[in-house]
């Protein structure tokens, strides 16, 4: 394509506001009948039998939903099943020799597990855990990076009815101790280390430090990932994973029958009080919901090679690397390292090498790909891709269109998915075989999901107005409670409204949003990510989208800073694309872009150029620190940042030193 043709294409994409799914995709899509929305609404909650039907049940359930103790809802009551058996055993006859997990290490080494091989190792480790003393309902903690032994351990726990609690490997030793103490977990599975940008990192020392803060006795299993690169000694209560599995070679463990409402896993998430919250997910509802959303939204089929580039230490990895894809019998790709090692085309090399059909990644990564340039994906054949997805935060229209064009070649639908740790799976997004796509807008609620945008009184807002997302009916993948803390569960997530004399519980996820005339919801960010300028509520995502729409801008983060007249003013932290330089002219162009897109009310008080933004190890921008800088306040904790050194540099720029 000539430069002139490419420029014309870019201009057309920039102007286009809606995109239809390609006919070739619709023809083969798992879900392509628009009537599904009405069918789910008319037949609610029985509609969720469709999700349950994707699983094998040892005992059929009696009722789809029991709601006589709101909001402590129960799904598929009376039903019994095992998650490990649903992800492994039932595929052995038809797909035993097909790949379940295709793993690639950062240094380029690979491991492939067929369903039969994964079944064998899960059984061996399940037998080992039992011999170590793990019993049904004991919580087993995992503190591991993206190595195959992590899903093996998760499925082994599910097999014997022991809930798992995965702690992200990038978290601190204190975070590990806090979570093990909260869960009263006496068992830990970890590893000696892992690779980042070619360097072997010592993980076991951090794990041992965390174990020092656990206030009860523990038993630890250690995977040897680094081999001779990191010498390590195991303590008296620590056992080598390989030796343990070898001791149980050929062992077979009958899957433990679990009630649909029995806990499958705990996932700890940040809390406003500083104490992490143990989100409880159950076996029947959660597994059916992630299976259905993998089937309907990600269009996963058994013959696919599917890649979610998240970390299993987060809920996205639980739902859409392990449980959803494996329950459907597909091949799930795992990658240990970073997307730019040894070069910035690593992601595209993996897509080409394995013939990936679906790619589900984060807007943070897409913005990085944009900054690096389209020449990297252009070096690879990405024609195997059939669907693209985004997760973790709203994606701005510019990044959406870049992803659509340069990665999907304008032939892959893009699903922009909104959901949370607490929801278990996707809640708001288009169905790719049905819905028109609007860049920057997640889409309508999924069939069966009653999501609304309301004001502070709980009344639905008019199209175009800002409000709060609420979910007004339960759904199978929902959290059941916070571990041993029902009171906090009620306090943090549920609001009680009176409607015609009856009290109704409504799930309140604390996200601001807008809804349009077509019922498409645009997520504006967390309620605390809304800037109130002279009484006007501006979503950070809305302003950031306007900034990255300016030519030369790669990424932006905006926060509110104190202002004598306006109450709050907009402070914009901006990363430029390669080839563009910081200047007063560029700052003026950014300010003009915001005013054109939103209006003078959103005009940034200050534009601060920076090579990086402060981000957590999971890639989320830490706006709290940017707010502290804008307000000249003492900075809060920076220990969870992956790049703490950038904070001081930004401080100097804001203060003018």
Model pLDDT for residues 282-318, shown as the tens digit of each residue: 999 999 999 999 999 999 999 999 999 999 999 999 9
Q: How far apart are CA 148 and CA 156, in angstroms?
A: 12
Q: Return the percentage of the chain with pLDDT > 70, whole number.
A: 93
pLDDT the model gives residue 381:
98
Alpha-carbon distance values, 521 to 96, 323, 440, 604 (Å): 41, 27, 10, 25
Give CA angle at 298 (292, 303), nearest 5°: 90
Which pair of structure tokens corresponds to residue 343?
């070069």
pLDDT at residue 653, as a whole number: 81
Identify whether 277 is part of a domain. Answer: no
Dist CA 235 CA 242 (whole Å): 16
Q: Is residue 608 part of a domain?
A: yes
> Quick check: is 363 in a domain?
no
Extract the tokens encoding 419: 């959901």
Question: What's the pLDDT at 545?
Answer: 82
The DSSP secondary-structure symbol of 519 reads -
Other beta carbons less than 10 A from residue 41's beta carbon: 12
CB 370 within 8 A of CB 554: yes
pLDDT at residue 500 above 60?
no
Structural domain contains residue 623: yes
pLDDT in tens, 144-155: 999 999 999 999
598: containing domain: 534-655
Query: Which pLDDT tens digit goes with each residue over 212-257?
Result: 999 999 999 999 999 988 888 898 899 999 999 999 999 999 999 9
Contact between 461 and 515 (Cβ < 8 Å): yes
Q: What is the pTM of this model?
A: 0.85
Identify whether 7 is part of a domain.
no
pLDDT at 438: 96
Phi then psi for residue 576, to 5 deg, are: -95, 155
Question: How far is Cα 527 from Cα 522, in angstroms, rounded to an integer?
Answer: 13
**Domain-located, residue 192:** yes
Q: What are phi and psi of 26, to 5 degrees?
A: -60, -40
Q: Averaged over 323-341, what is the pLDDT?
A: 96
pLDDT band, very low/low/confident/very high, at 272 (cuts 50, 70, 90): very low
Average pLDDT in the 29-44 region?
Answer: 97
640: pLDDT strictly greater than 70: no
Q: How many helices (H) and strands (E) does the chain have?
A: 22, 31
Rounded CA separation 446/152 (Å)? 31
Indicate if the alpha-carbon torsion angle 633, 634, 636, 640 is positive or negative.
positive
Structure confidence at residue 535 (pLDDT): 55
Confidence of residue 639 (pLDDT cuts 50, 70, 90): low
Lowest-pLDDT range, 48-52, 263-267, 566-570? 566-570
Please determine, for residue 498, whether its predicted confidence score (pLDDT) is greater than 80. Answer: no
Pick the closest to residue 627 from 643, 650, 649, 596 (CA basis).
Answer: 650
| Domain-located, residue 621 | yes
* Boundary of a domain, candidates 256, 291, 326: 256
- For residues 581 and 504, the model is more confident at 581
Task: Flag whether 132 is in a domain.
Answer: yes
pLDDT, average across residues 593-615 = 85
Q: Are 317 and 325 in contact (CB under 8 A)?
A: no
CATH number at residue 206: 3.40.50.980
pLDDT band at 623 (very low <50, low <70, confident <90, very high): confident
pLDDT of residue 248: 98
Of 256, 289, 316, the position where a domain reaches its end is 256
CB 595: neighbour CB atoms within 10 A?
15
CB 405: neighbour CB atoms within 10 A? 16
pLDDT for the residue numbered 265 = 98
The CATH number linked to 625 is: 3.30.300.30
Per-residue pLDDT at 541: 75
Report the domain count for the chain. Answer: 2
Share of the chain above pLDDT 90, in %: 70
Among residues 240, 256, 272, which one ends one of the domains?
256
How far is the CA of 105 from the CAs of 179, 191, 318, in angstroms? 28, 15, 19
pLDDT of 274 reads 53
The residue with greater pLDDT, 115 or 548, is 115
Q: How many residues does the chain have?
A: 657
At residue 493, the pLDDT reads 87
Through-space distance between the first and last CA atoms of the chain, rounded to whole angstroms = 47
């Amino acid at each position: 394509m000539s430069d002139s043709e490419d420029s014309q294409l870019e201009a057309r994409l920039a102007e286009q506001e809606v995109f239809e799914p390609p006919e070739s995709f619709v023809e083969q899509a798992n879900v392509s009948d628009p009537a599904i929305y009405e069918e789910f609404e008319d037949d609610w909650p029985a509609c969720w039998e469709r999700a349950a039907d994707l699983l094998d049940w040892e005992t059929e359930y009696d009722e789809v939903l029991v709601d006589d103790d709101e909001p402590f809802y129960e799904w598929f009551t009376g039903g019994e099943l095992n998650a490990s058996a649903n992800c492994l055993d039932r595929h052995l006859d038809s797909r035993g020799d097909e790949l379940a997990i295709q793993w690639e290490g950062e240094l380029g080494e690979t491991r492939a597990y067929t369903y039969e091989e994964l079944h064998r190792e899960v059984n061996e480790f399940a037998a080992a855990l039992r011999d170590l003393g793990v019993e049904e309902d004991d919580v087993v903690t995992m503190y591991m990076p993206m190595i195959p032994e992590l899903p093996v351990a998760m499925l082994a726990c599910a097999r014997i009815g022991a809930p798992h609690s995965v702690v992200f490997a990038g978290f601190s030793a204190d975070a590990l101790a806090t979570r093990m103490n909260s869960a009263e977990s006496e068992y830990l599975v970890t590893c000696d280390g892992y690779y980042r940008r070619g360097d072997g990192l010592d993980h076991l020392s951090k794990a041992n430090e965390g174990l020092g803060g656990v206030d009860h006795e523990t038993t630890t299993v250690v995977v040897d990932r680094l081999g001779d690169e990191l010498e390590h000694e195991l303590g008296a209560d620590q056992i080598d994973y390989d030796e343990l599995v070898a001791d149980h070679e050929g062992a077979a463990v009958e899957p433990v029958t679990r009630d649909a409402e029995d806990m499958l896993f705990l996932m700890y998430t940040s809390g406003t009080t500083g104490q992490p919250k143990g989100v409880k997910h159950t076996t029947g509802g959660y597994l059916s919901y992630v299976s259905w959303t993998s089937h309907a939204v990600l269009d996963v089929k058994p013959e696919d090679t599917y890649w979610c580039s998240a970390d299993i230490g987060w809920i996205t990895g639980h739902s859409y690397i392990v449980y959803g894809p494996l329950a459907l019998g597909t091949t799930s790709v795992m990658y240990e390292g970073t997307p730019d090692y040894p070069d910035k085309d690593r992601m595209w090399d993996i897509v080409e090498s394995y013939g990936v059909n679906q790619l589900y990644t984060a807007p943070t990564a897409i913005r990085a790909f944009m900054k690096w340039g389209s020449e990297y994906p252009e070096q690879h054949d990405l024609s195997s891709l059939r669907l693209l997805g985004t997760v973790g935060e709203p994606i701005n229209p510019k990044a959406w269109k870049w992803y659509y064009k340069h990665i999907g070649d304008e032939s892959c639908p893009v699903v922009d998915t909104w959901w949370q740790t607490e929801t278990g799976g996707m809640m708001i997004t288009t169905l790719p075989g049905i819905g028109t796509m609007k860049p920057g807008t997640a889409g309508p609620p999924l069939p069966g999901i009653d999501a609304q945008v309301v004001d502070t009184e709980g009344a639905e807002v008019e199209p175009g107005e800002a409000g709060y997302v609420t979910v007004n009916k339960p759904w199978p993948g929902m959290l059941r409670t916070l571990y041993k803390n029902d009171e906090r569960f009620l306090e943090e997530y549920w609001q009680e409204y009176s409607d015609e004399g009856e009290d109704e519980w409504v799930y309140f996820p604390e996200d601001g949003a807008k809804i349009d005339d077509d019922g498409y919801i645009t997520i504006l960010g967390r309620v605390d990510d809304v800037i109130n300028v002279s009484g006007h509520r501006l979503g950070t995502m809305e302003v950031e989208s306007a900034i990255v729409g300016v030519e030369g801008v790669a990424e932006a983060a905006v926060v509110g800073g104190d202002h004598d007249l306006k109450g709050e003013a907009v402070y914009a932290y901006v990363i430029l694309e390669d080839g563009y330089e910081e200047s007063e002219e560029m700052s003026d162009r950014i300010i003009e872009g915001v005013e054109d897109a939103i209006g003078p009310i959103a005009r940034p008080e200050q534009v601060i150029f920076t090579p990086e933004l402060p981000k957590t190890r999971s890639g989320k921008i830490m706006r709290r620190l940017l707010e502290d800088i804008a307000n000249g306040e003492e900075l809060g904790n920076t220990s969870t940042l992956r790049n703490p050194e950038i904070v001081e540099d930004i401080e100097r720029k804001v203060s003018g030193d």
